[in-house]
Structure 1
Amino acid sequence: MLGVSLLDKPSYRYGLDERPPLGENLIFGLQWLAITVPLIIILGKIVAASHFADPAAQILYLQKLFFTTAVMLLIQVYRGHRLPLITGPASVLLIGITANAGSSIDAMYTATIIGGGLLTLAGATGWLDHLKGLFPPRVVAVILLLIAFTLLPTIMNLIIAPGTGVSPPLHLLFSLAFLAVLVSISRVLTGLWKSTLIIWAMLAGSLVYFLVFSPAAVDMSGSAGAVPTFASFFHEFTLHFSLEPALIVSFLFTYLALFINDLGSMQSVGSMVGATEMQARISRGVTVTGLMNILSGFLGVIGPVNFSLSPGVIASTRCASRFTLAPTAILLFLISFFPAVIHWLGNIPPVVIGTLLLYIMCAQVATGLRIIYESENPLSMDNGYIVGLPVLLGTVISFLPPAVTAGFPAMWRPILGNGFVVGVVAVLLLEHVLFRKKG
């Protein structure tokens, strides 16, 4: 998971705590922005559409998401882990939201506040050392694989995109062709071009879609004229607490995965840039992540996490300065107050979003498989059961028809109907109980 080759600090143009000149700092910040914006838009649009049918409410949701990402990024750079590490909405929390679509929004974001609170305590009180023992490499690998596989129903619905006026088979053909081009291009790109591939693919894919299919068939999320240029979003907070015990338990499993993601991202970048006092950085970083998830719960948006996409950008620009992310945070903050800009950025066809999410999840699968390959006896039958059974079981649960999950007891539905939670429980039982090494 952390297999990042170390680079000597002298090879960087600017070190971790060095400040580039203003002009260069702004250029570096724009490069980070080009990577962050597509991730916010792609994940944010999926969650916003699952909550609200009103385009204005969806844009308001994205405004809050840009705001929380900007605030977390700025705090992390100056007071948190203090590493050149981008942040954004956590894909693992997307699983918790989409798998529990039958629950109220208030209940979901109450669970987000509770999960963020426990994460804050873990970072601030030293629980981190105790939690690490639950996640040996095989468990981490399974969690990474489960994130990808249990998102497949959501990805499938985005690709098929019923109700857009274009037949599902045509959408599927478009997605397959788009994915083939995307993979082919990614094999030959290097450095910054490879790191920013998602934004170019998002723009090019949307343009081709509009050219191939009738613009009238595309959901433009409302008229641009109806969207204000500037607007605040400091209203409609999620302050109506709603406690659903089973839903909270379901979300706590997703926060265990978020913790692993956060930890791995900080360790990989820290080792790459030669950061010192990593234990203190990780504790501060996890604490800030937890606090920002609490804020996200109050605002009613998906919580943020530190992303592991940064090493490629650092290697290509030869700039390890954390201060290059300050302009990114400021620009994200400004964008959050301009709904018209977000509306323009958000006019991406669902099939393009689904295909890009599928491509992004390929990296998740590759990381999980690499961890398994690097483990002891990777081809043993024990590994086959410990890895294969939870992934298959979680995938089956994720594809259960709503009519089946509706038959589960209401109290247990958020747990038994969530493929990710079932998979995580299964791998923990297999790893620590059934296949536990004696002695």
Structure 2
Amino acid sequence: MQKLKLKYALDEVPPYAELLLFSLQWLAITIPIIIIIGQVVAVLHFENTGDQIIYVQKLFFITGLVMLVQLLWGHRLPLIMGPAAVLLIGVLAGQGSSMQTVYSSIFIGGIILAILSISGLFAQLKILFTTRVVAVILLLIAFTLTPTIMNMILPAAGSKVSALLNILFALGMVLLMFVANRFLTGMWKSTLIIWAMIIGSLAYSVVSPSSVVIDAGNYKWLASFINDISFELSLEPGVLISFLVCFLALSINDLGSIQSVGELLKPANMPQRITRGITLTGLANMLSGFLGVVGPVNFSLSPGVIASTGVASRFTLIPTALGLLVLSFLPVAIAFMDSIPSVIIGTVLFYVMCSQVAAGLMMAFSSREFNFDSGLVIGLPVMLGVVIAFLPAEVLNTMPASLRPIIGNGFVAGVFTVMFLEHIVYRSK
């Protein structure tokens, strides 16, 4: 496989005008990811809008800081970062526990991931992640988030907005996004999500004017979130195990993202880049747990952007990272972005999870040995995960509190099931 023909290579610095232009493109891709995951998790934790804004501020700060460190001293590749969607599953499973317990588990998970990477043990664990296991993990992330997406699309109890209106609006919007994805090219295709959020919000304000409320005027232009940090170590075995399984998926995502850019650009010292990159992701999640937010992961969106623009310079992402750091201290700007209606966030998340399903299916069918047994190994864990994800709250409440984050978590149950089927029941001879 030959190297991609590039306008600017990995360690080349474009002229300042082009550098700024490409940085803005990366920023337009990164911001929606932070807003989507940030808004979903913040609403789970807080009823007060001010607390929700502070949460998203911390996400912007972590993402910008870690991206900058990765570019300069970590994997040193043009990769964007953002909050890990798979950790959202752990947060949902730990709703019956305190926030300190949830983020202590992320703190511990980050430490373990960093240690595994530094020690070289992570390379030994990769044997567990066969093609079928990875396919199931990718599919489970999407399917077990379906109830959350559904709750975001449907209006809240007591709302004057019709549920049918929201469903039809979401269906129309996601279909238009697929049409746009099919025909758009270059920068327009790369920044589709942010345009969908902007245009979708404007369209929804016409359909349901009372549902769009911009609350940015109640916040200072410049404000710090430092005073909101209050970490206290609190561990519950069930919640911790649930998050450790989520970190298995996070590590696969991180490894795959780094390798995908490595395959495209073929830089020197890839093993060292992978080790440094995953180690920093672990340390970043440790810091995220300390700050009380969902930890980041490297995203696999970069190869498509690099291929469409011909620009692989890692330096184009440095202004992007600095921009995220600046935004983290501008609550009025974040409040404005956070005013996007939940139906728009839910619809965009639905679109993103469709891409996750596509990745899972591509992984499942990439093996030449795919057969009926492979279908069973993939089908049972996915079905089990979906069933558990949709269990009513009254059923989950009958489970022992210590085991609820494990057996009541569709993602965790699905991962344990596929590991059992793949490595014991259908173990390859």
Q: TM-score per shorter chain, which class?
A: over 0.9
Instruction: Report the 3-state secondary structure (helix = DSSP H, G, I; strand = E; otherwise coil) of the residue aligned with 2:374.
Output: helix
Q: Does the CA-based 8 Å contact 1:191-1:315 persist in structure 2? A: no
- The residue aligned with 1:403 is 394
- The residue aligned with 2:417 is 426
**Of 66, 89, 94, the match for 2:88:** 94
Instruction: Report the 3-state secondary structure (helix = DSSP H, G, I; strand = E; otherwise coil) of the residue aligned with 1:133.
Output: helix
In the TM superposition, 1:175-254 aligns within 5 A as 175-214=170-209, 216-220=210-214, 223-254=215-246
- The residue aligned with 2:300 is 308
- Counterparts of 1:238 and 1:393, CA distance in 2: 37
Matched, 1:161 2:152: no
- The residue aligned with 1:49 is 43
Matched, 1:322 2:314: yes
Q: Does the CA-based 8 Å contact 1:238-1:297 persist in structure 2? A: no
- Counterparts of 1:286 and 1:193, CA distance in 2: 31
Q: Does the CA-based 8 Å contact 2:421-2:427 persist in structure 1? A: yes
Between 76-85 and 156-165, the greater mean CA deviation after superposition: 156-165
What are the Cα deviations for residues 184-225 of structure 1, in whole angstroms up to 9, with x where unaligned?
A: 1111112221111000001000000001112x23354xx322
Q: Any unmatched runs of 5+ in structure 1?
A: 1-5
Length-normalised TM-score, structure 2:
0.98
Between 312-321 and 107-116, the greater mean CA deviation after superposition: 312-321
- The residue aligned with 2:331 is 339
- Counterparts of 2:205 and 2:246, CA distance in 1: 36
What are the Cα deviations for residues 152-210 of structure 1, in whole angstroms up to 9, with x where unaligned?
A: 00000001132443121111111111111111111111222111100000100000000
In the TM superposition, 1:380-399 aligns within 5 A as 380-399=371-390
Q: Any unmatched runs of 5+ in structure 2?
A: none
Going from structure 1 to structure 2, the CA distance change for 1:398 and 1:229 (only over 3 Å counts) comes to same
Q: Does the CA-based 8 Å contact 1:124-1:283 persist in structure 2? A: yes
- The residue aligned with 2:266 is 274
- The residue aligned with 2:128 is 134
- The residue aligned with 1:120 is 114
- Counterparts of 1:169 and 1:7, CA distance in 2: 51
Going from structure 1 to structure 2, the CA distance change for 1:355 and 1:7 (only over 3 Å counts) comes to farther
- The residue aligned with 2:345 is 353
- Counterparts of 2:374 and 2:65, CA distance in 1: 41
Percent of aligned positions that are identical? 54
State the 1:29 CA deviation: 0.6
**Of 2, 8, 12, the match for 2:6:** 12
What are the Cα deviations for residues 400-436 of structure 1, in whole angstroms up to 9, with x where unaligned?
A: 0110000001110110110000000000000000001
What are the Cα deviations for residues 211-263 of structure 1, in whole angstroms up to 9, with x where unaligned?
A: 1112x23354xx32211111001122241111101100000000000000000
The residue identity in structure 2 corresponding to 1:376 is R
Q: Does the CA-based 8 Å contact 2:105-2:235 persist in structure 1? A: yes
- Counterparts of 2:155 and 2:239, CA distance in 1: 28
Q: Does the CA-based 8 Å contact 1:145-1:368 persist in structure 2? A: yes
The residue identity in structure 1 corresponding to 2:187 is L
Q: Aligned pair count?
A: 428
**Of 42, 45, 69, the match for 2:63:** 69
Q: Does the CA-based 8 Å contact 1:81-1:285 persist in structure 2? A: yes
Q: Does the CA-based 8 Å contact 2:93-2:239 persist in structure 1? A: no
**Of 105, 108, 112, the match for 1:111:** 105
The residue identity in structure 1 corresponding to 2:153 is I
Q: Does the CA-based 8 Å contact 2:211-2:341 persist in structure 1? A: no
4+ residue segments displaced more than 4 Å: none
The residue identity in structure 2 corresponding to 1:157 is N
Instruction: Report the 3-state secondary structure (helix = DSSP H, G, I; strand = E; otherwise coil) of the residue aligned with 1:374.
Output: coil
